[in-house]
Structure formats: C-alpha cells, structure tokens
C-alpha cells in the first residue's frame, strides 16, 4: 500500500512540475527586477513617462469570460498600500497588450488610481524610502462584465475580484528613487 501511495505522489509531482499554470509575462518588466523610468509616474514629484508596461498572459483557465488587471504597491507608506491601476471587463479574447495601451478602447472599465487619475499611474515611491514592489496581477473572471461602475473604489474592486476570480497570475517588479 505504501509503495502505491509513494508512486502516486511521485507521479503527481512530475505532472505538477511539467505543467505551467496561468502565467503573466512582459517584455518591459521582469519578476523581481527594477522597472525603467519609463514606468515612473509624471507628477507627485516624479518625472517619468507614466506609461503602462506591455503584458501578456497565457494558459488561460477554462471558464474565463473576461479579465481584470491591477497594479498595487504594498510598500507605500499609507497603511493601505497604493493602487496604481485597476481595470476590469477586459474581453476574454484579449490576452496581451502593448506598452501604453488604451484599455478603454478595448472595452475595459478603468478606475482612478490612488493618484486620482483614470488608468495607469506609474511608480513614484518617496525618495529614500527604499525599494518598493509593484504587483501586476491579471485576474481570470467567470463573467463577461462585473457589476461595478467606474466610480467604485479600488478596495471594492479588489474585494470583488478576490471573491470571484477563477485564477490569478502575478508579476512583481520593483522601483526606488
């Protein structure tokens, strides 16, 4: 009996090691690496280009009817982090977009970032505050449209996404000034 259990455990480990789940990649940003100034905000004392990075997601989970994209800095000195990007109702036939993409033209809903502006708001950690993490997440959703409007807070959108996502894929880049 033990030999069968060990064999079954070994077989499942091999399958898990060879299968790739829902994945988020980028030609602009890499896991654990510092982002270029291109992706820095323009304002709040920062003078970057405030351009969103290119993103691609693959191995899309079965049942996905739409996507959401978020970018969040858990290291912001606010007590609640900083929402840099919240976009949802991205059609299921879209699995990538180029640098600086206009997601609203693709049919997506974009919320105001914590800067107060609609759409992507780049990195802008306080000078000397150390390295911050920027968590880019794509959310696979089981509905074509979320029952949210463009006036809800990022916290409500985050709560909704966490309550219903089929799966998520994350890419965490860093930035400091």
On whether residue 16 sits in a domain, the answer given is no
- Locus of tokens 């049942």: 63
On whether residue 17 sits in a domain, the answer given is no
Could you tell me if residue 49 is left (phi over 0), alpha (psi between -120 and 50 degrees) or otherwise beta? Answer: alpha
On whether residue 27 sits in a domain, the answer given is yes
Counted domains in the chain: 1
On whether residue 7 sits in a domain, the answer given is no
Q: What is the pLDDT of residue 159?
A: 97
pTM score, two decimals?
A: 0.88
On whether residue 31 sits in a domain, the answer given is yes
Q: Is 16 helix (H, G, I), strand (E, B) or coil?
A: helix
Q: What is the pLDDT of residue 3?
A: 44
Nearest to 129 by CA among 45, 71, 47: 45
Residue 67: Cβ within 10 Å count: 22
Q: What is the pLDDT of residue 19?
A: 65
Report how far residue 41's alpha carbon sits from residue 99's, in angstroms, rounded to the nearest whole number.
Answer: 14
Report how far residue 124's alpha carbon sits from residue 84's, in angstroms, rounded to the nearest whole number.
Answer: 10
Task: Split the chain (177 residues) into runs of 10 and give each run's mean pLDDT.
Answer: 43 48 98 98 97 98 98 97 98 97 96 97 97 98 97 96 98 98
On whether residue 8 sits in a domain, the answer given is no
Q: What is the pLDDT of residue 93?
A: 97
**Domain residue limits at 58:** 22-175
On whether residue 4 sits in a domain, the answer given is no
On whether residue 3 sits in a domain, the answer given is no
The CATH number covering residue 29 comes to 3.90.280.10
């Amino acid at each position: 009996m033990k030999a069968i259990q060990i064999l079954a455990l070994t077989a499942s480990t091999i399958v898990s090691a060879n299968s790739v789940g829902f994945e988020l990649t980028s030609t602009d940003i890499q896991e654990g690496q510092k982002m270029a100034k291109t992706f820095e905000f323009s304002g709040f004392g920062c003078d970057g280009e405030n351009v969103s990075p290119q993103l691609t997601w693959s191995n899309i989970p079965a049942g996905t009817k739409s996507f959401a994209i978020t970018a969040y800095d858990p290291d912001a000195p606010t007590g609640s982090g900083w929402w840099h990007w919240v976009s949802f109702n991205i059609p299921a036939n879209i699995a990538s977009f180029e640098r600086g993409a206009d997601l609203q033209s693709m049919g997506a809903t974009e919320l105001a970032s914590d800067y107060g502006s609609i759409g992507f708001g780049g990195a802008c950690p306080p000078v000397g505050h150390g390295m911050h993490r920027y968590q880019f997440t794509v959310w696979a959703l089981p509905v074509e449209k979320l029952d949210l409007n463009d006036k809800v807070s990022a916290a409500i959108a985050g709560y909704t996404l966490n309550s219903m996502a089929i799966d998520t894929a994350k890419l965490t880049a860093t930035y400091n000034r």
